[in-house]
Amino acid sequence: MGNADLRTLAALSDVSFDDVAGSVVAVDAHNWLYRYLTTTVKFTNSDVYTTSEGDEVANLVGIVQGLPKFFEHDLVPVFVFDGGVTELKDAEVSERRAQREKAEELKQAAEERGDDLAASRLEARTQRLTDVIHETSRGLLERLDVPVVEAPAEGEAQASHIAKRGDADYVGSEDYDTLLFGAPYTLRQLTSKGDPELMDLEATLADLDVTQEQLVDIAILCGTDFNEGISGVGPKTALKEVKEHGDLWAVLEARDAYIENADRVRELFFDPPVTDDYEFDTDISPDIEAARAYVTDEWEVPEAKVERAFDRIEESLVQTGLDQWT
Amino acid sequence: MFKAIVSASTLRDALDSVSVLVEECKIRLNEDDLSIRAVDPANVGMVDLTLDAASFESYEADGGVIGVNLSKLEDFVGMANADQLVELELDEETRKLNIRIDGLSSTLALIDPDSIRQEPDIPDLDLPAEIVLEGAQLDRGIKAADMVSDHVRLRVDDAEEAFHIQAQGDTDDVDFQLDAEDLIDLTSGTADSLFSLDYLKDMNKAIPKDAEVTVELGEEFPVKLHYRIAEGQGNVTYMLAPRIQSD
């Protein structure tokens, strides 16, 4: 997931929620949802989010708990969902699947041992976005009038595209790949406590004194979601060599190395499958009662579990701002 | 250049009106007056304050802007008794504010004005109803509303020519009715808006009980509250954005 090596290269700064209040954030929906899903599952008894039919909807608890963070700071989230899996990412997806299966085995072993704590921790690692999660996440967001965009492929590529076109002020993602997709500004840590972290593409390029293309080449050398990097090459070496030789091909030639599909991976970052065919209304007027009923009646989440979060959503949305009158 | 002498009570009234909304603010040291305009981080409540040069014992300024931490400044000014004079002087070189009260002198480090939230634009509002009442009456209505709810409805009944401060809780209701003869003045018009008590309580705290408060009100519009301080030489205007009425 993501490319943590990029962290050492990225221009990051802490910002306060005040600084970003009033802006539109194109959120990499899977990335965001995944965080809340694993936290919910880790700290909640599974009865709470399992319906009488046996469907697991921990995502609904996660969404109502995650949204107040946006609304209370006067941010409008636009959730950008992944479309199909990019073919190149198959390797990563099957690796994640293998990890899930491994966690599942360990979880069963832990249950048999009677180690509940270990079991619930492992349960969190077995989470994936099921069809029910896809359906109910959209169902809930729709009732809350939170904008949703369906990406043709990668959500973070589409979110970056929306920000590049100026239809969003920031991309919201915990990953660093948004830099490679050309997102001008990314807000990180929207799912954690405290202030967000701002990742600035232009400042990153200026600090490193490289072009956007060179940054992508550096990432490919270190390894991305779509390719294995060259063994032993970290961000510092990659930066140095790309600057020295000019681009990926020259570095590979100098090292006499080979990266599978390198041309396609490059192409994917430079020209990812994205669409201009989206529209959303950032004026949110949610039907809180319908959303509550959807979560507690239709999907049987106990009211006590989501009551406070819904109250926070309601409270943060009924208060208008003075900027509406200037 | 800035050098002024002012009574502690005037300065405190002025600073209190701003500190209920924000921690830090810019102070404009204009030639003829001192002014502050600030909005809270959520953009819900705004204050616009002017203290004319005439409200000072002496006042000299040439249009500079300083940034201050209000609670620190209030602490310093709080060392004075209400009737004592506070002497303020800006040290341009160190960018510090020297504060002298009788024999006590203190130095307040200033904040870079560029690091403070931008001063807000003032909303352009044409509000149909105007109610003039005593600070104590407003205080009574707000306290009553606070007993039952976290928001309050301000309403003018055009037909009966009365101002209502109302609140509806989960189980209990209050309605404080002020007829035209109870009020200092009433310009009747259709006006009905809902406000967060969190904000209104804070603003109310800063409004002197004996002040004459002018409330401008509309239909689901921000409310404007103004009152004068410093024996009429200073003016405070609050603006508060409404909540959306659900029913």
CATH number of B129-240: 3.70.10.10
A231 touches chain B (CB under 8 A): no
**Cβ atoms within 10 Å, residue B19:** 22
The count of structural domains within chain A is 1
Flag whether pLDDT at A228 surpasses 80: yes
The answer to whether the beta carbons of residues B137 and B130 sit under 8 Å apart is: no
Q: Note the pLDDT of residue A15.
A: 93
**Is the pLDDT score of A87 beyond 70?**
no
Between strands B129-134 and B151-157, the pairing is: unpaired
Chain segment B117-138, per-residue pLDDT in tens = 889 888 989 999 999 999 999 9
In B, minimum Cα distance to A18 occurs at B41
**Nearest chain B alpha carbon to A17:** B41
> Which residues are within 8 A (CB) of A230 and not within 5 positions of it... i.e. 6 or more apart?
A221, A223, A255, A257, A259
| pLDDT of amino acid A286 | 85
Residues of chain B with pLDDT under 70: 246-247
DSSP string, B235-246: EEEEEEPPBPP-
User: Which structure tokens are listed for B246?
Assistant: 């659900």
A241 annotated binding-site participant = no
Beta carbons of A17 and B41 less than 8 Å apart: yes
Bridge partners of B85? B7
Task: Quote the ipTM score.
Answer: 0.87
Using only C-alpha atoms, chain A has a radius of gyration, in whole angstroms, of 21
Give dist(CA A180, CA A269) in Å, integer: 6
**By the CB < 8 Å criterion, does A319 face chain B?**
yes
Separation of alpha carbons A80 and A161, rounded Å: 11
pLDDT at A177 over 50: yes
Question: B57: which 2 tokens?
Answer: 């014992």
For the cut 90, the answer to whether the pLDDT of residue A131 exceeds it is no
Distance from CA of A45 to the nearest CA of B (A): 31
Q: Which residues pair with B50 in a beta bridge?
A: B35, B235
- Confirm whether pTM is higher than 0.80: no
A311 is in an annotated binding site: no
A167 has pLDDT over 80: yes
Q: What CATH number did the domain enclosing A217 receive? A: 1.10.150.20
Is residue A323 in a domain?
Answer: no
Q: Is A322 on the interface with B (CB under 8 A)?
A: yes
Query: Do B2-38+51-115 and B129-240 have matching folds?
Result: yes
Distance from CA of B229 to the nearest CA of A (A): 24
Give alpha helix (H) positions in B64-171: 70-77, 135-148
Q: pLDDT, tens digit, for every residue of A134-163? A: 999 999 999 999 999 999 988 999 999 999
pLDDT in tens, A108-128: 776 777 766 666 655 655 556
In a domain, residue A255? The reply is yes
**Tell me, what's the pLDDT at B59?**
97
Count of CB pairs separated by less than 8 Å, A with B: 53
Residues of B with CB under 8 A from a CB of A: 39, 41-46, 117, 120-125, 196, 221-222, 239-244, 246
- Per DSSP, B31 falls in state S
Q: Which residues of A204-242 are buried (b: 16+ CB within 10 A; e: fewer)?
A: bbeebebebebbbbbbbbbbbbbbebbeebebeebbebb
Q: Answer yes or no: is A201 within a domain.
A: no
What b/e readout covers A43-61, taking b as 16+ CB neighbours within 10 angstroms?
ebeeebbeeeeebbbbbbb
Using CA atoms, how far apart are residues B21 and A319, in angstroms rounded to an integer?
Answer: 16
Other CB atoms within 10 Å distance of the CB of residue A244: 10
**pLDDT for the residue A2:** 43
Say whether B120 and A74 touch across the interface (CB within 8 A).
Answer: no
- Partner residue opposite B43 with nearest CB, options A317, A318, A321: A321
The pLDDT of residue A17:
87
pLDDT, averaged across chain A? 87
* Chain B residues inside the 8 Å CB shell of A320: 44, 241-244
CB contact under 8 A, B124 and A326: yes
pLDDT beyond 90 at A90: no
Chain A residues near residue B242 by CB distance under 8 angstroms: 320
Would you call B104 helix, strand, or coil by DSSP?
strand
- Comparing alpha-carbon positions, the chain A residue that sits nearest to B46 is A322
CA A107 to chain CA centroid, nearest Å = 26
Amino acid in position A251:
V
Distance from CA of B131 to the nearest CA of A (A): 21
Q: A33-43 pLDDT, tens per residue?
A: 988 888 887 78
Rg value, chain B, Cα: 19
Are B121 and A318 a contacting pair at CB < 8 A? no
Q: What is d(CA B16, CA A276) in angstroms, rounded to the nearest whole number?
A: 51
Tens of pLDDT, residues A230-239? 988 999 999 9
A56: contact with B, CB 8 A cutoff: no
Chain B residue closest in CA terms to A15: B115
- Residues 6 or more apart in contact with residue A263 via CB below 8 angstroms: none
Task: Report yes or no: A13 at the B interface, CB cutoff 8 Å.
Answer: no
Does A246 map to a domain? yes
CA distance, residue A281 to nearest chain B CA (Å): 19
| Burial per residue of B204-240, b for 16 or more beta-carbon CB atoms within 10 angstroms, e otherwise | bebbbeebebbbbbbbebbbbbbbbbbeebbbbbbbb
Residue A233 lies in domain? 209-272
The predicted pLDDT at position A111 comes to 74
User: What is the full DSSP assignment across A90-115?
Assistant: HHHHHHHHHHHHHHHHHHHHHHHHT-
Question: Which numeric CATH code is attached to B2-38+51-115?
Answer: 3.70.10.10
What are the sequence ranges of the domains in chain B? 2-38+51-115, 129-240
pLDDT of residue A317: 81
Segment A278-297 shows an average pLDDT of: 91
A175 annotated as a binding-site residue: yes
For residue B127, the one-letter residue type is L
Give how far B115 is from chain A: nearest CA, Å.
10
pLDDT at A5 over 50: yes
Given an 8 Å threshold on Cβ–Cβ distance, is B243 in contact with A326? no
CA angle, B151 then B157 then B159, to 5°: 165
